[in-house]
Structures are given as C-alpha cells and as structure tokens.
Amino acid sequence: MNKFLILILSVFVLAVGCKDDDDAGLVDVLKYDGDNNNAPFFDSGEFEAAVRFTASDIAPHEGRVLEEIEFYMHESLPEECHIKIYEGTSNNAPANLIYEKDITANIATNFWVSHVLTESVTLSNSEYWFAVRVKHNSLIRSFGCDAGPADSNGQWLWSSDDNIWETFSNRNDGNPNAPASAFDVNWNIRAHLSPE
C-alpha cells in the first residue's frame, strides 16, 4: 500500500513540475500562432507580414531583452528576406523601425527560421511589431501561417502594391476565389525573450 501511495505521489509531483516548466516557457515567447498549417500565395512584389503587440501586451514583459525572432518559411524561397522590429504605432501602422537585418542567406524552405538579434532590444512600455519582409519575383508561398482562428494582431500585412498596412483578413474580405477560413489565420512569427 505504501509503495502504491509513493508511486501516485511521485507521478503527481512529476506532472506538476512539468506543468510549471511548460508554463514558464510560454511567457518567454510572444506569439499568436499555433503550428504551421499552410501559406498563402503572393504574387511578385514586396510584402511584410507582422504580428503586433500592444503596450498592455508588453507590460508584463517590460525590461526584458528580446533575443530572437523565429518564423516559418514555407515551400518557396523569396529573392530577399529581412527581419524588422518596430516600436510604436502611427495611424494603425508600425511607427519607428528599431531593428532590421537582411537574412536572405540564412533561410530554408519548410523550416522554422531563427534569427538571434545582433543588437540588444530591451522592451519598454510601448507597442511592438515583429515582422518579416520578403521580395518575390513570381507567384510563390513564403510566409507560413497556422490554421486559425485569427487574432487581428496576428496577421498584419503590408504590400508594395498599395503601401498600406492591413490585416490579412481585411485585405481578402469578399475574395470569391477562396473560402473565408483561408484568411482566418495567424502568421508563424514569434518573439523570444530572455529568461526572467
């Protein structure tokens, strides 16, 4: 009987310990997405996919250092690929570019691409946008996305066609060529923070 009780308590302690570790890891990553599910087609041009975190989203993490941006590159490589980080918002668009790095030489398809920042970015009481900018010379699928449901701040998109920031859903509202669920997604873009 005592051996059985010890076994039950051991399993309970192990389960609680693992849960705490998992929960602690979640607060080290700012994200809206789930696992990669797909990627939309984008024609030739320049596009920037971004996830936006408000000042209230950032508040619990204020003072922490942003260490890494991770994103999923789907089946096609763009001609160019840049990581961009903005601080602040102006007219529903990112305001101040505080970090940019050309990572074209370091990307691969069907792969989570990880970029460790080469300059320190400490989160302040502000809004942040974490973005991946690509240049396409043909119709390809580059930005990975999850299966949704979308968070409006998890699917921002800029296009060189109109030079406007808009959510992916709004850009495709009423598109007769695809079901609405095709746009009910979040970009696979994640910001990793230093441990507390």
Please check whether residue 69 is in contact with residue 111, taking contact to mean a CB–CB distance below 8 angstroms. Answer: no
116 — pLDDT class (breaks 50, 70, 90): very high
Residues 6+ positions from 5 with CB-CB distance below 8 Å: none
What is the spatial distance between Cα 91 and Cα 165, in angstroms, rounded to a whole number? 10
Domain 31-193 adopts which CATH fold? Jelly Rolls (2.60.120)
Higher pLDDT: 85 or 26? It is 85
172 — pLDDT class (breaks 50, 70, 90): confident
What is the spatial distance between Cα 152 and Cα 166, in angstroms, rounded to a whole number? 10
Q: For 81, phi and psi rounded to 5 degrees?
A: -150, 125
Task: Using the predicted structure, report yes or no on whether residue 40 has a pLDDT greater than 60.
Answer: yes
Candidate from 53-57, 106-110, 192-196 with smallest mean pLDDT: 192-196
Buried b (16+ CB within 10 A) or exposed e, 117-126: beeebebeeb
Task: Give domain limits for the chain.
Answer: 31-193
Residues 6+ positions from 95 with CB-CB distance below 8 Å: 86, 87, 88, 89
What is the spatial distance between Cα 109 and Cα 79, in angstroms, rounded to a whole number? 13
Higher pLDDT: 17 or 65? It is 65
Average predicted confidence (pLDDT) for the chain: 86
Task: Using the predicted structure, report yes or no on whether residue 20 has a pLDDT greater than 50.
Answer: no
**Torsion sign across C-alpha atoms 152, 169, 166, 29:** positive
- pLDDT tens digit sequence for 130-167: 999 999 999 999 999 999 999 999 999 999 999 999 99
Q: For 16, phi and psi rounded to 5 degrees?
A: -65, -40
Token pair 């204020």 is at which residue? 62
